[in-house]
Amino acid sequence: MFVLTIDQRGSRRHGDRVDHLLAELADHHERTGRRPLRGFERTVGDEVQGVYDDPDAVVDLALHVLRVGGWTVGIGAGPVDEPLPDSPRAGSGPAFVLARTAVESAKSRSRTVPLAVRGRDDGAGRDAEAVLVLVAAVASRRSEAGWAVADAMSADDLRQEDLADRMGVSQQAVSQRLRTALWAEERAARPAAARLLAWAQGSGEDRPARA
């Protein structure tokens, strides 16, 4: 299982934005069709928590929250106490403890990307964190034009020539924007991060032996 703990940054300056985030997360889940096992809710103060069983959905959601900005993301990968209650606030088990450790670590001022992963398999968890941080750092450097083509290609599964027609630009212009945005590299890295998250749960399933 995967527990995500998301804490607001700078709430004293910007006020409580939890309700806005919860609405944003609900819209994201509706738009992508990737929903949590237990939906996000406020836990304490300006913090929210949700539970997933799909590592691909965790990667997607974590990178989306980082793009929105203003939040610290902690991911805990490991078992939870069963039966899992309806409310994340009532949940317990290693994944919840790891998520708390992760979000506190992610608050470090030395971090350029406010995200951390802690897993029952600590090595795989930190590897997953490294990939996610790198992807988020690359995405943070995109221009508006880069995001426009990246979002369109990701959402609609278009061919570059179709997107060029839609945007009224040349196919070469679309190709250049995608290269500059490192869109293909990001799409390739997301599944790698998800596999590392799955291994971080500590089950040992489908994980290659270390050399």
Q: What is the pLDDT of residues 51-68, one digit of tens each?
A: 999 999 999 999 999 999
Q: Torsion-angle region of residue 19: left (phi > 0), alpha (psi -120 to 50) or beta?
A: alpha
Sign of CA dihedral 189, 40, 119, 111: positive
* Residue at 191 is within a domain: no
Predicted TM-score of the model (pTM): 0.92
CA 40 – CA 32 distance, rounded (Å) = 16
Residue 76: both structure tokens together: 């805990």
- Inform me whether the pLDDT recorded for 203 exceeds 80: no
Give 151-172 pLDDT, tens digit per residue: 888 876 778 888 889 888 889 9
Sign of CA dihedral 112, 141, 17, 118: negative
- Inform me whether the pLDDT recorded for 17 exceeds 80: yes
CA 19 – CA 58 distance, rounded (Å) = 20
Which residue type occupies 108?
S
Specify the pLDDT at position 211.
Answer: 41
* Residue at 163 is within a domain: no
List all residues 6 or more positions away from 143 whose beta carbon is below 8 Å from its beta carbon. 180, 181
- Inform me whether the pLDDT recorded for 209 exceeds 70: no
Give 117-136 pLDDT, tens digit per residue: 999 999 999 999 999 999 99
Q: Total structural domains in the chain?
A: 1
- Which range (84-98, 163-177, 185-199) has the least confidence? 163-177
Q: Which of 186, 77, 71 is nearest to 127 (CA)?
A: 77
* Residue at 187 is within a domain: no
| CATH assignment at residue 101 | 3.30.70.270
* Residue at 145 is within a domain: no
Specify the pLDDT at position 1.
Answer: 96
If pLDDT is split at 50, 70 and 90, which confidence band does 103 have? Answer: very high
Q: Are 40 and 22 in contact (CB under 8 A)?
A: yes
Specify the pLDDT at position 206.
Answer: 55
- Inform me whether the pLDDT recorded for 196 exceeds 60: yes
Sign of CA dihedral 28, 39, 198, 65: positive
Domain that holds residue 85: 2-121
* Residue at 153 is within a domain: no
If pLDDT is split at 50, 70 and 90, which confidence band does 204 have? Answer: low
* Residue at 155 is within a domain: no
Residue 50's Cβ-count burial label (10 Å; 0-12, 13-18, 19+) is buried
Specify the pLDDT at position 13.
Answer: 75
CB atoms within 10 A of CB 193: 25
* Residue at 143 is within a domain: no
Specify the pLDDT at position 22.
Answer: 96
